[in-house]
Amino acid sequence: MAWMAQDPDPETRDELAALLRRVGASLPGAADDLRSRFGSRLAFGTAGLRGELAAGPNRMNRVLVSQAAAGLAAFLLERAHPDTRPSIVIGYDGRKNSRVFAIDTAEIMAGAGIRAVLLPRLLPTPLVAFAVRDLGVSAGVMVTASHNPPRDNGYKVYLGDGDDGSQIVPPADAEIAAQIDRVAATLDVLELPRSGEYEIADESLVERYVEATAAVATTPRELRQDAGAGLTVAYTAMHGVGWETFSRVLDRAGFARPVIVEAQIEPDPAFPTVAFPNPEEPGALDLAFETARAVGAHLIVANDPDADRLAIAIPDGSSASGYRSLTGNEVGQLLGWRAAEAAAGASVEPGDDLLDEEPSATLACSIVSSPALGAVAREYGLGFTETLTGFKWVSRAPGLVFGYEEALGYLVNPATVRDKDGISAAIALLDLATELAASGRTIADRLDEFSGRFGHYGSAQISLRVTDLAQIDAVMSALREDPPAELGGLPVERIDDLSRGDGGVPPSDVLRIVLPGARVMVRPSGTEPKLKIYLDAWNDDGSLADRRDAVVELLQKLEGGMRDRLS
């Protein structure tokens, strides 16, 4: 078979040979497994590549990654100025084959005549986004599957120059994909030119990231040492690569080191203590809760395996674990308020290091994140932008000073990193917690203050998993053709069909249902076979308890109404 003949990896060659023997013996499931691997190709899109490690074009492996590297090299050479040599920085995390894929990429890039710089060791994803700008290179690649299951890996691409270190967006993704398809159709990966003449980035690059990220903390250093000394924090890296870099940033910023979840602090591609290494998943933070209870922690800080996301939990006596995980929207509200205060106080002007044609300081979030950030922006007279889901869009908001999306992604230092960054976000949150502790307050108190000032906002989600993607199309079509006049007894004020450009963003298969004091967003998942429904409600009448009760009631009505509609 042609695929096996060009596969440089003996593990996947042997795996495929064993599968072919199973097919030849007509063993149950073997033919379906072969069709799953070879019936289609893992698509390269705005998230790059991501999938299970295994043989075949619909899996992550050295053949597919080599084709991707060669296609990306061709794209960079084609778009480069004739007198300019393209360049790229390549990073990798602790997942299986991450370093192998990164070295394959570096060798193929160097063989194509592109200056390739490999990061010195496994490091968090934000280091690549930082390095693209810091080194002034044409592009960046990060080999990671972020918080996906243990058997997955991925290939994320950033662009430099005018893209300023943001992730790829159309039409670049389609242009790169076309080059990858051309390579796959016409070239044997064993015949691709390779070179060992790539560079290893100097440790000073990491040091510059550490310095810039430590600067996110704005409280007086003595306050971090005094008030921070009374703030007990538990931290987990979720078997990922966050701790080594995060600990250096903490030291530089003057924060006390947290109590670590020992069993999860070192990178481990097997992720032995979690079924799913995503801090949003039930059970993922159980060891962090256990550690926090043992030391009486005031705060739990968690990064996902490549440290581009941040999860926070706070004490909660009503919870069986003793702690409550904050939603991404709650953390986004807190960090957005912090950024708004700083921006309003600094009279922010557009800087040379930001994207072109920026308005004054802007807060941004994805369309499925809480409307609460818009209320903050209005209060402080700042710009507010809603984008399509994904930080490839959030990071491009003009005049950005803070951006987030509800899936635990936060961008607190856009002058340094144009992507979500769980390390800088953790520093910003710790800085806020330290400031609050100095006046005898907590993160929970700050959330109450938010509700008192801007109104109380609540959110919930419904995920409808399907076995046939046609079911999702049917649901979306039914909602468009027979739109609801009410949901849970609440009248529908209007429905925005974002596929027609109704939402002020590029066309996308999303419906926004607007009701009094509430909103429902309906969209197909971009990565899984499910329909995702985001429920948001808000209230600013009466006492804090009144506001909370009203929002809880609204969310219950919305959920009931949507489930009735989908049943």
CB count in 10 Å sphere of residue 345: 9
Mean pLDDT of 447-456: 98
Burial class (CB in 10 A: 0-12, 13-18, 19+), 38: middle
Question: Which of 84-88, 448-452, 485-489, 504-508 bottoms out in mean pLDDT, i.e. has the lowest?
Answer: 504-508
Q: How confident is the model at residue 227 (pLDDT cuts 50, 70, 90)?
A: low
Residues 6+ apart with CB under 8 A from 229: 256
Same fold, 329-451 and 455-566: no
For the record, the structure tokens of 554 come out as 């609204």
Residue 433 clears pLDDT 80, i.e. is over it: yes
For the record, the structure tokens of 61 come out as 């492996």
* Alpha-helix runs per DSSP H in 395-543: 422-438, 443-454, 469-481
Provide DSSP, 197-236. --EE--HHHHHHHHHHHHTT--S-HHHHHHTGGG--EEEE
pTM: predicted TM-score of the whole model, two decimal places: 0.94
- Residue given tokens 């044409």 in the structure block: 138
pLDDT value at residue 349: 45
Instruction: Identify whether 146 is a catalytic site residue.
Output: yes
Instruction: Report the amino acid identity of residue 160.
Output: G
DSSP state of 502: T
Mean pLDDT of 96-107: 98
Mean pLDDT of 40-58: 91
CA end-to-end span of the chain: 47
Residue 534 clears pLDDT 60, i.e. is over it: yes
CATH superfamily of 226-312: Alpha-D-Glucose-1,6-Bisphosphate, subunit A, domain 3 (3.40.120.10)
Q: How confident is the model at residue 466 (pLDDT cuts 50, 70, 90)?
A: confident
- Per-residue pLDDT of 122-162, as tens digits, reads 999 999 999 999 999 999 999 999 999 999 999 999 999 88
Residue 469 clears pLDDT 90, i.e. is over it: no
pLDDT value at residue 355: 42
Strand runs labelled E in 5-99: 49-52, 87-92
pLDDT value at residue 47: 76
pLDDT value at residue 225: 79
Query: Which residue, 227, 148, 230, 142, is CA-closest to 421?
Result: 142
pLDDT value at residue 155: 97
Q: What percent of the chain has pLDDT over 90?
A: 87
For the record, the structure tokens of 488 come out as 């849970």
Q: Name the fold adopted by 455-566.
A: TATA-Binding Protein (3.30.310)
Which architecture, in CATH terms, is 329-451?
A: 3-Layer(aba) Sandwich (3.40)
- Residue given tokens 């296609």 in the structure block: 71
pLDDT value at residue 357: 43
Please give the mean pLDDT across all residues of the chain: 94
Residue 356 clears pLDDT 60, i.e. is over it: no
Question: Which of 462-466, 477-481, 493-497 bottoms out in mean pLDDT, i.e. has the lowest?
Answer: 462-466
- Residue given tokens 């030119």 in the structure block: 193
pLDDT value at residue 442: 96
d(CA 331, CA 313): 10
Q: Which CATH class is domain 35-201?
A: alpha beta
Q: Which of 66, 87, 146, 370 is catalytic?
A: 146
- Domain locations along the chain: 35-201, 226-312, 329-451, 455-566
Do residues 461 and 368 lie in contact, with contact meaning Cβ atoms separated by under 8 Å?
Answer: no
Three-state secondary structure string covering 401-443: EEEEECCCEEECCCCCCCCCCHHHHHHHHHHHHHHHHHCCCCH
pLDDT value at residue 230: 84
**Does residue 171 have a cis bond before it (omega within 30 degrees)?**
yes
Going from the C-alpha of 242 to that of each of 44, 101, 130, the distances in angstroms are 26, 20, 15
pLDDT value at residue 346: 66
Q: How confident is the model at residue 347 (pLDDT cuts 50, 70, 90)?
A: low
Mean pLDDT of 45-52: 86
pLDDT value at residue 228: 65
